[in-house]
């Protein structure tokens, strides 16, 4: 996963474009590594990608997000008590109130094919995306990267043999000005920060 560091030093879009223009349109398209593909598609969707090598970097980056958005001493909607305990030292009011300033949550998977975040009732209970705050801070690890939505669903099924979670959804629309396609129709735009911790 050292590729993330390299990607963050250069413009992902220009790297991708230069790779594509090296070959004619009839040449088989080169398959990008899963981490590069996710980074490119996530950034294209308008997400804010924040790669961290350790928990100290996660804490510093989270602090910067709070400062940038003036979220100190504000309400944060967080269903996951274990995650809330990791971010206790920021004078935040953890609540189940969906009118909070932002939503803090883990996720099921990071989908490389379309740069989306896979969520389920484990993260959002039975709430629909439009019922959640407009601002998301998602915490994930590099081991959660999957190639496709079907792979992410397979992992959910394998991990939850007794009780498969409901309300499985993806979020991939992170900019107001992005053109809507069929797959994102009906979903609400979210201002999304992804805190990605290296764990491989």
Residues 90-144 have pLDDT tens digits of: 999 999 999 999 999 999 999 999 999 999 999 999 999 999 999 999 999 999 9
pTM: 0.80
Judge contact between 175 and 166, C-beta under 8 A. Answer: no
Per-residue model confidence (pLDDT) at position 190: 87
Residues 51-79 have pLDDT tens digits of: 999 999 999 999 999 999 999 999 999 99
Nearest to 124 by CA among 111, 107, 146: 107
Percent of all residues in the chain with a pLDDT value above 90, rounded to a whole number = 71
Here the CATH number for the domain that contains residue 160 is 3.40.50.10420
Per-residue model confidence (pLDDT) at position 149: 97
How far is the CA of 164 from the CAs of 91, 121, 154, 155, 168, in angstroms?
A: 35, 9, 11, 11, 10
Judge contact between 97 and 127, C-beta under 8 A. Answer: no
Show the tokens assigned to 170.
């993806």
Show the tokens assigned to 108.
């099921």
What domain range is 186 assigned to? 3-197
Strand, coil or helix: what is 84? helix
Phi, psi for residue 132 in degrees, rounded to 5: -90, 160
Judge contact between 167 and 129, C-beta under 8 A. Answer: no
Per-residue model confidence (pLDDT) at position 21: 47
Per-residue model confidence (pLDDT) at position 14: 41
Per-residue model confidence (pLDDT) at position 184: 47
Strand, coil or helix: what is 89? helix
Strand, coil or helix: what is 6? helix
Q: How many domains does the chain have?
A: 1
- Per-residue pLDDT band at 185 (split at 50, 70, 90): very low
């Amino acid at each position: 996963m050292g590729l993330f560091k390299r990607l963050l030093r250069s413009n992902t879009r220009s790297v991708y474009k230069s790779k594509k223009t090296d070959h004619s349109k009839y040449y088989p398209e080169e398959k990008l590594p899963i981490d590069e593909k996710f980074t490119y598609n996530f950034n294209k969707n308008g997400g804010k990608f924040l790669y961290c090598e350790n928990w100290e970097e996660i804490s510093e980056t989270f602090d910067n997000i709070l400062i940038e958005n003036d979220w100190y001493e504000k309400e944060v909607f967080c269903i996951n008590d274990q995650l809330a305990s990791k971010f206790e030292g920021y004078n935040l009011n953890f609540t189940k109130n969906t009118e909070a300033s932002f939503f803090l949550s883990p996720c099921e998977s990071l989908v490389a094919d379309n740069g989306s975040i896979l969520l389920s009732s484990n993260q959002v209970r039975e709430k629909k995306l439009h019922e959640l705050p407009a601002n998301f801070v998602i915490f994930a690890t590099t081991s959660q990267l999957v190639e496709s939505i079907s792979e992410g669903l397979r992992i959910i099924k394998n991990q939850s043999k007794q009780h498969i979670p409901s309300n499985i959804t993806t979020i991939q629309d992170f900019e107001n000005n992005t053109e809507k396609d069929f797959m994102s129709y009906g979903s609400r735009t979210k201002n999304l920060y992804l805190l990605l911790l290296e764990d491989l």
